[in-house]
Structure 1
C-alpha cells in the first residue's frame, strides 16, 4: 500500500516530464490521449507553457476513434497542424489510452516523417511512471536521433534545467551568464534549442548536468563521443526565511537532488555545521548521496524517515509537506512543482 497517498496529490507523470523537457525547443509537441491526462499537463504541471503554448497540441482522441483504432484521422490532423506551426521536428508523447489500444508508434513515426519531411520522435509514455522517467527518456531519444561526430568547439550544453526539476527562468539565466564567461557558446536544451544546436551536441567541450534526469544522456555522450560532464554549480539565492536558522541546527532539504545538494553546499560554505540531509520523492543518484540522504517512495516513506531521523530543527520543502511535521522550529516553503503542481504554487 506504499503507493496509496492519503494527503499528497498524484505526482507529475512521465508524459508531463516529456512535455516540460522540450517545451522551449523549436519542436511541435503532440500529447496523444483523452482529456483527463491532458488536463493534468496543461492545468497542473505545465508551469511555463504560456511561452510556447502554440507548439503544444492535444489529440483528445474520441471514444469512437479509440474503440475503432482510427489513427488516420489523427495523423492527418497532425500533418495539417505541422504546416501551420513553425518547428524543426515533432515529438509525440503517449498516455494510458494509446497503451491500451496498442498504438503502433513506429508506424506513426514512419508515416509522419514521410508526410511532413521533418524528424519525428515518438515517446511510449504511459502515465504510470513519474516525470523524471519521461525527461530521461526524451533526452536519450534526442541524443539517439540527432547526435553525430563533430569537431570540438568552445561550447557547452546545459541539459535537464526544466521547471519540474526546480529550474526557474532566473536560475537558468544566472547559470548561462556564468558559463558565458568561460565558453563562446552556451546552449540550454530548455531554451529554444533546434535541430542545428542538437546536431552539434557532440562538439561541446563539456555538458552541464542540471538534474538527475540528464545523467543517462551525458553518460552516453561521454561514452560514445568523449564529451565530459559536470554538475551544474549555480549560486542559488538564499532561501527566504533561512535567516532564522541556527547554524548548528539540523536541516532537511526535500527536493530535486542537484538543486538541494547545491543548497547544502552553500549552507556549509556559509558556516552551517549541523546535520544537513537531502531527500526526494523522485530519482536520486546514489553517487551524490551522503549519509542520512534518502529516496522516498511515497508519503508513508516520508513519515517513517522523519521518525527514524528523530526529526529536524528546520525542514525546507514544498508547502504540502508541512502537514507531516517532523520539524522542531521552522518549516520553510520551497515549491516543488512535480509534487504540488502549478495551482498551489501560483498562490
Structure 2
C-alpha cells in the first residue's frame, strides 16, 4: 500500500537537515513555526542537542499570526532576541506554515538586516522534504552570503558532513566553523561527502575554480569473501565503498540519488515494499545499512553489517 509504513519511523525532514548544517556556526537560527517543528529538531533530529547547545528558537506563530501574515510581529521578535546574542548571523528556517502562506523571506531578511545590522539568510524548507534537501538549501544559502577567498592554512576540506549521516570526526575541515565559509575560495580541493553538497561544490568550482571529488577520504571497510553487496543509505557513502571494494555493489536509498553516481542495479526507494522486493529478487550475500532496515528483511539469510544512519533511525553509535 502506498505510503504505508510498518517498520520505518519518519525520516529527519528538511528543516532538520538545514539546522544540522547551521548548528555549530555561531548563528542565531529561527525556525518559523508554532513550536512543534523546533521541538522535533531539538528533541529527536539533532544528536548534538544534549551535548553542545546552539541558539535555536521557534518563531512561536499563533493561528492569527499565520492567517493574517503578521510579519511585523515576527520581525520584532527576532530583533528582540538578537539583542541577547552575539551571533555571527541570523538564519530563518522554513516549515509548512510559511510555505502555505507564502512568507516573503527575502523581504523579511532585508528589513532585519537594516534593523539589527547583521547578515540574515533564509533556508526555504517546507517541512515536507527530507533532510538532505534541507542540507542542500542551507549550504547554498551560506555560500551565497559568506563565501570568500580569505587566506587559510588548509588546502582541502570536506563538504557535506553532519551528524545526520556521520558518527565520526574527520581530520580535514568540514565547514562546522563559520570562518571556513569565508576561506573556501582559497582551497584547492573539496571532497563532497553527501549528494546534498554536490550543487554547492559545483557553484564553488564555477566561482573559484576549486576542484572537487565525490568521495569520503578515509572511509573503508575490511570485507572478504563477499560476492554481491547491497548498501542501503546515503549515496556518497555507498559510492565511496563501492570504489574501494570493486565487487558487485548496489546502492539503494530513500534519499537523494544523483544520476552521475548511479550505476546499473542502483535503486531509488520510495516505499518499504521497494526494499523488501529488491532483496527478495537479488542474491545478496551481504547488506550494509542502518539496523532498522534489518527489522524489515526478516527473510534475508545473508550477512548484515550495521552502519548507523541517524537521519533514518535516530540511533547513535556509542562505540
> What is the total number of aligned residue pairs between the two structures?
318
Secondary structure of the corresponding residue to residue 48 of structure 1? coil
Alignment correspondent of 1:225:
208
**1:94 deviation in Å?**
0.8
- Indicate how the Cα distance of structure 1 residues 235 and 54 shifts in structure 2: closer, same or farther if over 3 A, else same: closer
- TM-score, normalised relative to structure 2: 0.89
What does 1:1-347 align with in structure 2 at a 5 Å threshold?
2-148=2-148, 155-164=155-164, 166-168=165-167, 170-172=168-170, 175-176=171-172, 187-189=173-175, 191-194=176-179, 197-236=180-219, 238=221, 247-268=225-246, 273=247, 275-309=248-282, 311-325=283-297, 327-342=300-315
Larger mean Cα displacement after TM superposition, 286-295 or 206-215 = 286-295
Deviations 1:36-66 (A, max 9, x none): 3223211221112345524111223223433
- Indicate how the Cα distance of structure 1 residues 16 and 74 shifts in structure 2: closer, same or farther if over 3 A, else same: same
Q: Is the 8 A contact 2:191 2:217 kept in 1?
A: no
Q: Is the 8 A contact 1:90 1:118 kept in 2?
A: yes
Structure-2 separation of matches of 1:86 and 1:281: 39
Q: Is the 8 A contact 2:233 2:253 kept in 1?
A: yes
Aligned-residue RMSD, C-alpha? 2.6
- TM-score, normalised relative to structure 1: 0.82
- Indicate how the Cα distance of structure 1 residues 340 and 151 shifts in structure 2: closer, same or farther if over 3 A, else same: closer
The answer for unaligned runs of 5 or more in structure 1 is 177-186
- Indicate how the Cα distance of structure 1 residues 50 and 113 shifts in structure 2: closer, same or farther if over 3 A, else same: farther
- Indicate how the Cα distance of structure 1 residues 54 and 291 shifts in structure 2: closer, same or farther if over 3 A, else same: closer
Structure-2 separation of matches of 1:149 and 1:338: 33
Deviations 1:92-149 (A, max 9, x none): 1010111222322122101111111111111221111111111111111222222356
Structure-2 separation of matches of 1:51 and 1:80: 27
Structure-2 separation of matches of 1:122 and 1:171: 28
Q: Is the 8 A contact 1:221 1:227 kept in 2?
A: yes
Structure-2 separation of matches of 1:20 and 1:149: 24
Structure-2 separation of matches of 1:137 and 1:34: 22
- Indicate how the Cα distance of structure 1 residues 32 and 331 shifts in structure 2: closer, same or farther if over 3 A, else same: same
Deviations 1:144-201 (A, max 9, x none): 222356689852332101112x222x332xx42xxxxxxxxxx421x2224xx32332
Structure-1 separation of matches of 2:112 and 2:138: 18
Structure-2 separation of matches of 1:319 and 1:255: 11
**1:88 deviation in Å?**
1.0
